Each structure stands twice: as C-alpha cells, then as structure tokens.
Amino acid sequence: MPDNFPPTTSDRRFLRVLYFIAIAYAISRSGWLRAWHLLAVAFSGLVIYLVISFDQAEWVRAWHGERVDFGIHNAQHTGIVFSTCALALSVFTHRFYLWIKHVPRLTASLCVAFWVSAWLFSVWGVFVSQTRAVWLGLCVTLVLLPAILGLAYLLRGRPQFSMRKPLLVSMVSVALLVLLASSLNLPTLVSERLESENVTWESLRQAAAHEEQDLSSIEIRVASWAAATGWIMEKPFMGWGGRGSRPLIRNSDLFSDAFKKQFNHLHSSYFQTLVEIGLIGAMFIAVLMMLIGRATINAYQQRRMPLDVFLFAWIFFVFWLVVSFFESYVIYPSGTYLVAIVTSFFYSYCIRQTTYPA
C-alpha cells in the first residue's frame, strides 16, 4: 500500500441499513399505508422498471437459456431480486387463497391468474439469472425450512388451521415447476451452469496465493477474500473507510490490470464490511440484526405478527446470510432496497400493538 493512502468517502452508506426503521414506523403509524401495500408497490415497481427498460433481444436470449440481468446491475443482483419475489409469493400463497374466497368469482379468477403468473415469472427469473450463489441460498433455505417451522411451533404452539390446503398448494406448485422446467429445458441449463467452471483445490490455492492471473468466477472471489484478509489485519477495528476497497485493489500488486479495471469490490458483504468499517462497524450491524431477530420472536409470541410474516422474515434472513457471502450486496442499491423493503415490512409488526388470531 502507498504511504499516503488516498482519501475515501465517509462510511455513511453503511447507515442505509437503518432505512427500514423510518419506513416501518411510517407504516405502523399511517392510517392508509399498510405493510402489504409496501410489498405490492415494490413488486409493481419491479414490473414497471422491466417494462420501461424492455429490450426484446435480451428477453429472447433469456428465453433461449442465456444468462441475462435485465439491466439490474448484473446477473447476481437480478437473481436476489427475483428470488425474494419468489419467496414472498410462495410464503403468502395461503393468505392470498383466504383473501380471494371473499371476492367475486371473476375477480378471483383474474387475481389467481396474476398470482400464478407472477410466481412463475419470479421462478423463471431465478433460473435465467444463472447465479449459483442464489441457487445455493434457496437450497439452504429449503433445507432449513423444517427448522424454521419447528421454531414457530416452539414459540407459539401448533397453528390452528388445517395443513391439507397448504400441502395441496405445494403439490400444485411442484407440478408447475416441473412443467416450467421441462418446457424451458431448465435441468440442462442448471447442470451446464454448475459445470461451467473447472476448479480444483490446487487452482483455488493458486488463486488465494495470487499465483494465477487468469481467474474464473470462483477463483476471483477466493483471490479477493485472501487479499481482504490481509487488509483487515492491518486495520482491524476501524477499517479503511467507506469505499476503501477501491484504492486498496487499485494500488495492490496482487491483481492484474484487467482485474483492477473490472472490479472495485470484494465479492462478499462480510469482507466488504470488515475492510471498510472494521470490527466495530461490523459488530454494530451484527447487534442490530440480533435485536431485530429478538423483536421478531417477541412480536410473534405476543401474536402481533402473523405466522406467514414470521416465516418470511426468517426465510429471507437465511437466504440473505448465504448470498451475501458471495457478493457485496451491502454496498449496492439492489441490496439496500431489498433489505429496507423486507425488513421494514416485518419490523412494522414488531412495533405495532394490534394482535392477530392464532
């Protein structure tokens, strides 16, 4: 590193994690704005953006199995956006079913068509983004789903509704997934993406030691994390300052010129946070997350938070923990917006006094 480290911007961008507090209180105090309105507006905003930025050639490539991002920064960020939509639509399907029972049949039919289309479109977006970290996050979430359901059972006892209809909906969803996969040849797409990089323990060792300059996607991350470890050890407590990773990469002899031109971040929210704001800043975020988790549990136990909202909060949390290890979502608008929307959605139930039936 140069003796005179170039000045960096402030650490204020990490305070974006606090956006959810203002939004949650606005929802809880508003007479017309509801948490569900927030989700509807967020999804509508995504649809409007896709319509405005519509590129026919890109959509055709996506339909033929090529990797696209629809202009949402890059494919990794596209993957987390569509995955969050798919998770929300999946978790809240039972609530949607209860709602359409009380609307006219024609309206209900149109709403069902829209809901199914939105869900299939979100799942399709997850596949066409071809982001392996996102697929891993969804798989880990699915594996831990029984544990999350068990936590809900321990906290408040067995839900007072029949599981027959949710199981039926799950079976229909699986059938739709199979139909979607077979029509778009998704198994081949997934297998080709998983086998697209030929890495070995030796190649990963060389990447970590910065002995190889021609790096694959996985090796780029290993090389970035290895360099970040040394920078963290140099300034462990306060970090190098906001956007400090840019000059660190630019002035490092560990990376090629091509790497420096293409990347200015560390491909991990955890390493990005530790490098730029240090252990003290990272501990602040960790404590905040623990407080939110405890508030969520208390709100669910006191029946201020419905079961499906509780499940969605923890499912998204698990998913976010996994994907954040492989990309610096914490410093990009896509990550900031998702965290603000989802966290303010379920935190609004933590600060309200209304109780819900079991």
If pLDDT is split at 50, 70 and 90, which confidence band does 206 have?
confident
Neighbours of 80 (CB within 10 A): 26
DSSP state letters, 210-276? T--SS--HHHHHHHHHHHHHHHHHHSTTT-S-BTTHHHHHHT-SSS-HHHHHH--S-S-HHHHHHHH
pLDDT tens-place string over residues 17-45: 788 888 998 888 877 788 899 999 999 99
At residue 291, does pLDDT exceed 90? yes
Q: Provide the whole-model pTM.
A: 0.88
Contact 11, 276 (CB under 8 A): yes
Percentage with pLDDT > 70 across the chain: 83
Q: What is the pLDDT of residue 181?
A: 60
Q: What is the pLDDT of residue 46?
A: 92
Contact 249, 275 (CB under 8 A): no
